Structure 1
Amino acid sequence: MLGLSLQAQIGLYHSGNMQVHGNLGFHINFINDSAFDQTQGLVGFYGDNVIQVSGNIPPTLWDAEVMLDNNMFLENTVNVQNNFNFIDGNILTPKSDQAVYLNFMDQGQFSGESNLSKVTGFAAVNNRDFFFFPVGDQNLLRPLTLNSESVSPLSICAYFFENPTNPSSITENFDVEQKVRDIGTVTDREFWIVQSDAPAQVTIGWNTRSALGLIPNATFESIIAVGWSKASNQWVIIGNSSTSGDLTEGFLTTKTFVPSEYAAITFGTIPLPTDTFAVNNPTLGNYFLSPNGDGTNDFLVIDGMEESPNNSLIIYNRLGQKVFEKVNYVNEFYGVANAGSLYLNQEMGLPEGVYYYLATLNDLGLEYTGFLFLDR
């Protein structure tokens, strides 16, 4: 390692040419003011205190992990080339600055995200068309899944458990009363910021803390995705392609929209659809699968597949890797991969988490997409 010095008790200051080919552990702050992009080892952040990463040049890490009793605060973007392991402690970024984020590069991925360890601020991804953002607030993981129609050079996302009308961590505000007439109510509990120039669908969920049941006259069927339009400075309807759950807990996938045209997205309500098209053309839903042999939700049963025996089903994991494929599908998926090279021991089953499916009903000329949650 060259060009390293300790500035008083501030931390490790890098102004030369540092490379990591083994393991390097940080227990103090890291100030990076020189190229740090040839790493092939593991860089860990450990200890009892908050660790700050600052400087003028973003460090690029191959593998990284965080295990902190407190948090890791980014004043400078950190790039991840291969894998970031969330063990303990949140990754904080300035929520008022969308240019600072934990950035997953072209092949970057992560593991271990949880309520105890996630990005509390902005996460980003480069050159992807599908990504699961491990974002949340101080207490809860509140992820967002981005499924784009094309590769986007840069996509960013953050979650805010704050009133959009008067958020505490950003200077912008999104008045929940400033909305188009077709929206009944916009929640005042939470919102996401997601920015990407490629048309996309996103999936977001609600829980008991979201308190959608407290919205007057709200029903599960009336929950819909809404976004703060940058063009009109008001909440407008984005719309749902599918929903799953109930009024207490569930998730929805939006219709296709361009995220960068909206400053924020969240949940709203509208009256139940009564027009003929909406009634006669329902979308397929999101699904819950728990293959534990109890006879309930052991297999993935897709609504309406029996109406089109000439069909196909493909399932992808959150990284966009194909894990299951079947022509003429008849309820065969029970959480075990039959495609792809990621899982060498197929009989161990796929790990718990969110998966994306593509169902093609050739007889009916229809194609549906959605998500399923695999519970172990």
Structure 2
Amino acid sequence: MQILRYNLLGLLVAISFNVTSQSLYNDGALLSISSDAVLSVNESFLNKGQVLNSGKIEIRQHWMNLGNYQSTGEVALTGSELQHVSLNEYVVGKLTIDGGDKAIQGDLVITESLNLVHGKLNAGSDFKVILETNATIIGGSEEAYIIGELELTSGTDRYYPIGNEQWFLPVWYTETSDARSISFKVNQGKISQVPNDTIKWIHDAYFWEMESSESVSGYLKLEYKELAPVDQTIDDLVLLQAEEHNGVLTILNTEQGSETLSEGILLSENKSQGSVFGIGKRQTIQSSGELNVRNLVTPNGDNQNDFLFIENIEEIANPSVLIIDRTGKTVFESDAYNNTTNRFEGFDSKGRVLGTGTYYYIVKEGDRTKASGFLELIR
């Protein structure tokens, strides 16, 4: 049955077979969809009445509910363009995300199942997706995940198919109790600004944040993307935790689940105690012979770490130093580095100021690399 731009006004409409509507505006009617029926709306669906959905509603543009929606059935958002979801009560039994991206404008509660087929479900920074007790998540991939906060209210082995605008960065969390509400989201930036004596480098693109209804302690497994430079080993790559953003960092002993630095999985060997998590590298001296590179540069004139100090650089004949930014571009190069008149003070080779961030250094003797690693420039 084909209905074009149909308005329902003051009626009881019972749908017991498949119906297609170009657009649908329910202005006060009671719309009942039986368990065997599918209502397909090719454009937007605006409900200001009452909907009893025991079957399936497919919507290809926007879904606005200003009335009452009750469901034991399914809503499938299948449009290829961005779909906005604005609901009076953000409680849905079964929801399928397919086609393109979706944006919600309030906390979305799923009581039965969330099926992620294709497209990103974006909750933004102000809202979250909540799965009630015993509700399940189906799917989750590079092509289908949640941007924003995802809260799970039950389960001992929990899967969070989350990420940001660029990357799919899922989290698996194992906790002994299944009765606590625990949420994860991905934030931009780094978990903390300054490495400590045991941590020499912190990934600065994103970190994970956890919230819970009470104190929790569990095992983490997370997937990371885009660590640069990608040609380095992951031997000293670690999972970091802190009690709060920019708090004191500690290392969760980790096992690597990948052999490349560009992407892979990190597993925590110990239970986490923090609420924010990131990726870093252990503080080790990457050198040959007696070289010791102090890899923190804070050029503020206090005579503390004002330049990149390389201990025993004078022992190398014709030492050269390269500084590379996170895009792989060489920003500083010196053919006669000496810690005095020819040294790195936070400027590029043309004297331009370099911004705060993580850089990569290489110390060479002729064509031979003597030391390499990450340095942190903080202004």
Among 264, 272, 276, the alignment partner of 1:257 is: 272
Partner of 2:136: 109
Partner of 2:58: 25
Partner of 2:255: 242
Q: Indicate the structure with greater helix content.
A: 1
Mark the CA change 1:153 to 1:5 in structure 2 (over 3 Å): closer, same or farther. Answer: farther
Q: Distance in 2 between matches of 1:176 and 1:148?
A: 29
Among 178, 183, 186, the alignment partner of 1:151 is: 178
CA apart distance, 1:213: 4.8
Letter paired with 2:189: N
CA apart distance, 1:56: 4.5
Q: Secondary structure at the residue paired with 1:221?
A: coil
Deviations 1:291-330 (A, max 9, x none): xxxxxxxxxxxxxxxxxxxxxxxxxxxxxxxxxxxxxxxx
Q: Which runs of 5+ in 1 are unaligned?
A: 165-173, 273-376
Residue 194, structure 1, aligned to residue 210, structure 2: yes
Partner of 2:278: 266
Q: Are the aligned partners of 2:238 and 2:254 in contact in 1 as well (CA < 8 Å)?
A: no
Q: Are the aligned partners of 2:241 and 2:252 in contact in 1 as well (CA < 8 Å)?
A: no
Mark the CA change 1:250 to 1:64 in structure 2 (over 3 Å): closer, same or farther. Answer: same
Q: Are the aligned partners of 1:56 and 1:76 in contact in 2 as well (CA < 8 Å)?
A: no
Partner of 2:295: none
Partner of 1:176: 193
Residue 64, structure 1, aligned to residue 78, structure 2: no
Q: Secondary structure at the residue paired with 2:141?
A: coil
Among 93, 112, 122, the alignment partner of 1:92 is: 122
Mark the CA change 1:43 to 1:257 in structure 2 (over 3 Å): closer, same or farther. Answer: same
Q: TM-score, normalised by structure 2?
A: 0.57
Residue 118, structure 1, aligned to residue 145, structure 2: yes
Mark the CA change 1:253 to 1:50 in structure 2 (over 3 Å): closer, same or farther. Answer: same
Mark the CA change 1:103 to 1:80 in structure 2 (over 3 Å): closer, same or farther. Answer: same
Q: Secondary structure at the residue paired with 2:165?
A: coil
CA apart distance, 1:155: 1.6
Residue 163, structure 1, aligned to residue 189, structure 2: yes
CA apart distance, 1:30: 2.5
Partner of 1:221: 235
Partner of 1:39: 71
Mark the CA change 1:144 to 1:18 in structure 2 (over 3 Å): closer, same or farther. Answer: same
| CA RMSD, 1 decimal | 3.0
Letter paired with 2:278: T
Letter paired with 2:249: V
Residue 5, structure 1, aligned to residue 27, structure 2: yes
Deviations 1:266-290 (A, max 9, x none): 1112147xxxxxxxxxxxxxxxxxx
Among 64, 72, 83, the alignment partner of 2:113 is: 83
Q: Distance in 1 between matches of 2:104 and 2:178?
A: 26
Q: Are the aligned partners of 1:176 and 1:187 in contact in 2 as well (CA < 8 Å)?
A: no
Q: Whose radius of gyration is greater, 1 or 2?
A: 2
Letter paired with 2:95: A
Q: Are the aligned partners of 2:203 and 2:278 in contact in 1 as well (CA < 8 Å)?
A: yes
CA apart distance, 1:104: 2.0
CA apart distance, 1:157: 1.6
Letter paired with 1:22: G
CA apart distance, 1:14: 4.0
CA apart distance, 1:22: 0.6
Partner of 1:52: 84
CA apart distance, 1:143: 0.8
Partner of 1:130: 157
Q: Distance in 2 between matches of 1:176 and 1:142?
A: 21
Letter paired with 2:27: S
Q: Secondary structure at the residue paired with 2:235?
A: helix
Q: TM-score, normalised by structure 1?
A: 0.57
Mark the CA change 1:163 to 1:19 in structure 2 (over 3 Å): closer, same or farther. Answer: same
Q: Distance in 1 between matches of 2:178 and 2:44?
A: 38
Q: Distance in 1 between matches of 2:97 and 2:45?
A: 17
Q: Distance in 2 between matches of 1:194 and 1:210?
A: 22
CA apart distance, 1:153: 3.0
Q: Are the aligned partners of 2:111 and 2:131 in contact in 1 as well (CA < 8 Å)?
A: yes
Q: Distance in 2 between matches of 1:212 and 1:147?
A: 31
Letter paired with 1:240: N
Partner of 2:356: none
CA apart distance, 1:117: 1.4
CA apart distance, 1:83: 2.5
Mark the CA change 1:15 to 1:148 in structure 2 (over 3 Å): closer, same or farther. Answer: farther
Q: Which runs of 5+ in 2 are unaligned?
A: 1-11, 14-24, 29-42, 285-379
